[in-house]
Amino acid sequence: MLKQRLSQKFSQKLSPQQIQLMKLIQLPTQALEERIKEELEENPALEEGEEGYEEEALLSNEHDEGDSQVIEAEDINIDEYLSDDEIPEYRLQANNYSPDDEDARVPVSGGQTFYENVLDQLRMRRLTEEEFQLSEYLIGSMEEDGYIRRNLVSIVDDLAFSANIFTDEESLEKALKVVQSLDPAGIGARSLQECLLLQMQRRESNYYNDVTSKILSKYFDEFSKRHFEKIMERLQLNQEDMKEVISIITQLNPKPGNSITSQGKHISQAITPDFVISIKEGELELSLNARNVPELRISGDYKVMLETYKSQKEHSKQQNEAVMFVKQKLDSARWFVDAIRQRQQTLLIVMGAIMEKQSEYFLTGDERDIKPMILKDIAEVTELDISTISRVASNKYVQTPYGTFLIKEIFSESMTNEQGEEVSTREIKNILEELIDNEDKSKPVPDDQLALLLKERGYPIARRTIAKYRDQLNIPTARLRKEL
């Protein structure tokens, strides 16, 4: 039986402006530049330039005696202001900097992508139409690292349903061989083992290459687990032979398609810092990197249109609709400009609190001076929500005299040493890395012994905590660190 009843409840929802601000705060500098460009293109009421300049121009027009004639609403050609053919003003402007200014813009190199490069190679082969179609589809199925991780049976079904190409697994296997014969060696592999074997097939036949291929094909599992003694015993290899095999395998590329251009060079992504911390006369100075972020202002033309409309007593339906559009664009532009300003203020407040908390580290650059700090600590100082602190620290970089790094790397939990002092877990991780770097690679130190070594230095840490820190540092277990 259905019943109706009244109930009251309180709920808190973010306004569209607050949601927009949260999204802008999370954006790093490069993404913010793109977001501003999109807004400039979409909203004609938003322009590049300082707001103060536009206000002075409007005031001078109001007090100019020669131009005291009132503009009638009927004289305003709305179509002229809203024409799609009009070139936005920001495209006709240029930012002029002095020769001494540092250009922080990052040049973008054009060129072929990895997939375009492989497809160009495929077009040079003499193939039937079916072979080309199957090979082209397989190239499109490759992931960025060059692997094809879907089984061929599933790809056969995909070809039938999505491309209306009916084939069988045997024909697809032949097409896969064509893809695997293209450069770079190893692409089109379905596993790491197959990828390494494909690369070994391109090498000339000699004793060590043949032994390496045999180990990869028959003893890959033992090799991946570093059971070198077992392999040496079965193949009757001495230690020098095994070292040569390991050297050959380490020269192979486990991800042949990852970040490779048509010239075979690795693509390195330039980092644009969001903050800059400098030292002047022994004091820290913080600035926001807004080198390529343009100043924004509200369009004066749209303001005049709206004010002129308000001064009229009678309005046509067409004028009402047109000016309503203008008002919406003006409101949107104001919201966006205010959100950009609030973003800058919020970022400076949060980063200022971080800089003050870690002042010793930013002055010396010594990671041992990093104090334990979590998001809650900065939230309490700034009186901002923890989610806001997280958004500021996420995906943003700070440039210091000692290098540029992610802000979130400064955050770390604390633990108490034997002297009762709070130390940063980052300091402990650095010591852990140092111990592992200096260990005898033929007999790597297991986690329980690492815990004893840290305890000797005054850091009583459990073995499971060592394992957690080691995983966070992407350091494998002792067994996988073993070398001959």
**Per-residue pLDDT, 49:** 72
111 by Cβ neighbours in 10 Å (0-12 / 13-18 / 19+) ranks as exposed
AA letter at 109: S
CA-based nearest residue to 367, from 454, 297, 432, 285: 432
Task: Note the pLDDT of residue 270.
Answer: 66
- pLDDT at site 308: 72
Report whether 45 contacts 333 (CB < 8 A): yes
Round to whole Å and give the CA distance between 400 and 384: 25
What per-residue confidence (pLDDT) applies to 233? 93
pLDDT of amino acid 74:
43
Over residues 226-241, mean pLDDT: 92
Contact present, 457 and 418 (Cβ < 8 Å): no
- Mapped onto helix, strand or coil, the DSSP state of residue 248 is helix
CA distances from 50 to 33, 40, 296 (A): 17, 14, 6
**Residue 87's pLDDT is what?**
43
- CB under 8 A, 24+ apart: contacts of 126-134: 127/178, 130/165, 130/167, 130/171, 131/174, 131/175, 131/178, 133/163, 133/165, 134/159, 134/165, 134/167, 134/171, 134/172, 134/175
More confident residue, 66 or 418: 418
Calculated CA dihedral for residues 54, 55, 57, 60, nearest 10 degrees: 180
What mean pLDDT comes out for the span 187-214? 94
Looking at residue 164, its pLDDT comes to 87
- pLDDT, greater one: 297 or 125: 125
Instruction: Identify the DSSP state of 266.
Output: B
Quote the pLDDT of residue 350.
Answer: 92
Q: Summarize the confidence of residues 262-274 as an average pLDDT.
A: 58
Whether omega before 184 lies within 30 degrees of 0, making that bond cis, reads: yes
Report angle CA 266, 253, 231 to the nearest 5 degrees.
160
Top-confidence residue, 475 or 51: 475
- Band of the pLDDT at 63, cuts 50, 70, 90? very low
Mean local confidence (pLDDT), 362-387? 87
Between 9 and 101, the more confident residue is: 9
Tell me the torsion sign for CA atoms 354, 358, 363, 365. Answer: negative
What's the length of the chain?
Answer: 484
pLDDT in tens, 423-444: 777 778 888 988 999 998 888 9
The arithmetic mean of pLDDT across residues 453-460, rounded, is: 86
Query: Phi, psi (5° rounding) for residue 451?
Result: -65, -40
Q: Which of 170, 172, 112 is nearest to 138 (CA)?
A: 172
Bridge-partner residues for 47, per DSSP? Answer: 297
Average pLDDT over residues 383-394: 88
User: Which residues are bridge partners to 373 per DSSP?
Assistant: 412
pLDDT band at 278 (very low <50, low <70, confident <90, very high): very high
Q: Which DSSP symbol is given to 480? A: G
Please answer whether residues 118 and 138 qualify as being in contact, where contact means their C-beta atoms are separated by less than 8 angstroms. Answer: no
- Tens of pLDDT, residues 290-329: 766 677 888 777 777 777 767 766 667 777 777 788 788 8
> What pLDDT, on the 0 to 100 scale, is given for residue 330?
83
Task: Please give the residue that has the higher pLDDT: either 420 or 237.
Answer: 237
Q: Look at residue 332 in the predicted model and tell me its pLDDT.
A: 85
Q: pTM, whole model, 2 decimals?
A: 0.52
Structural domain 413-484, CATH architecture: Orthogonal Bundle (1.10)
pLDDT in tens, 389-415: 888 888 889 998 888 888 888 887 767
Confidence check: pLDDT of 445 > 70: yes
Q: What is the mean pLDDT of the segment spanning 29-49?
A: 84
Q: Which residue has the tokens 């809203």?
A: 82
DSSP calls for 386-443: HHHHHHHHTT-EEEETTEEEEGGGG-B-EEE-TTS-EEEHHHHHHHHHHHHHTS-TTS
Q: What's the count of helices (H) and strands (E) in the chain, helices before strands?
A: 21, 8
pLDDT classification of 46: cutoffs 50, 70, 90: confident
- The C-alpha R_g of the chain, in whole angstroms, comes to 32
- The two three-digit tokens of residue 218, written as one number: 């028959």
Output 56 or 134, whichever has higher pLDDT. Answer: 134
CA dist., res. 479 & res. 484, Å (int):
12
- pLDDT at position 155 is 92
Q: Look-up: residue for tokens 């690369």?
A: 199
Domain definitions of the chain by residue range: 15-62+73-82+268-411, 114-250, 413-484
The proportion of the chain whose per-residue pLDDT surpasses 90, expressed as a percent, equals 31
Res. 4: pLDDT tops 50: yes
Identify the pLDDT of residue 482. 81
Angle formed at CA 194 by CA 188 and CA 199, multiple of 5 degrees: 80
pLDDT band at 215 (very low <50, low <70, confident <90, very high): very high
Asked whether residue 6 carries a pLDDT value surpassing 80, the answer given is no
Q: Could you tell me the pLDDT band of residue 94, with boundaries at 50, 70 and 90?
A: very low
What's the CA gap between 269 and 287, in Å, rounded? Answer: 23
> Which has the closest alpha carbon to 379: 360, 354, 415?
354
Query: If you average pLDDT over every residue of the chain, what do you get?
Result: 79
Residues 6+ apart with CB under 8 A from 93: 48, 49
Average pLDDT over residues 333-362: 90
Residue scoring higher pLDDT (53 or 283): 283
Residues with Cβ within 8 Å of 135's Cβ and at least 6 positions away in sequence, in order, are: 122, 127, 175, 178, 179
Are the CB atoms for 287 and 29 separated by under 8 Å? no
* Per-residue pLDDT, 238: 93
In angstroms, rounded to a whole number, what is the distance separating the alpha carbons of residues 425 and 431? 10
CB 215 within 8 A of CB 245: yes
Q: How confident is the model at residue 266 (pLDDT cuts 50, 70, 90)?
A: very low
